[in-house]
Amino acid sequence: MSPAAMRRPDLEALQAVGRGATHFGMGSGVESRLLALGLIEKAREGYRLTEAGRRALLPGRRNRWY
């Protein structure tokens, strides 16, 4: 799924994890979508970006929202 096709809460959560947030209030629907898409993973210490999540946040691509 391209960032342009993602909903605002999904993008905000992905950006927060990308900035280093490990614990924050994320709706269960947002969490399930990001986990199902393989953009984040749940770890003992909180959330982490996967490689796909890092690629989705790369600057210079069409996703200038980060």
Tell me whether residue 17 is in a domain: yes
* pLDDT value, residue 24: 72
Give whole-number Cα distances, 5 to 1, 10, 18, 22, 42, in Å: 6, 10, 18, 24, 23
Tell me whether residue 27 is in a domain: yes
Tell me whether residue 64 is in a domain: no
Give the pLDDT confidence of 14-64 residue by residue, as tens digits. Answer: 999 988 887 777 788 898 999 999 999 988 888 899 999 988 887 655 544
- The percent of the chain in helix, strand and coil, each rounded to the nearest 5, is 45, 10, 45
Tell me whether residue 65 is in a domain: no
* pLDDT value, residue 26: 79
- Count CB-CB contacts under 10 A for residue 66: 14
Tell me whether residue 42 is in a domain: yes
Q: State the total domains in the chain.
A: 1
Is pLDDT larger for residue 55 or for residue 4?
55
Whole-prediction pTM: 0.75
Tell me whether residue 39 is in a domain: yes
Going by pLDDT thresholds of 50, 70 and 90, the confidence category of residue 4 is low
What domain range includes position 30? 3-56
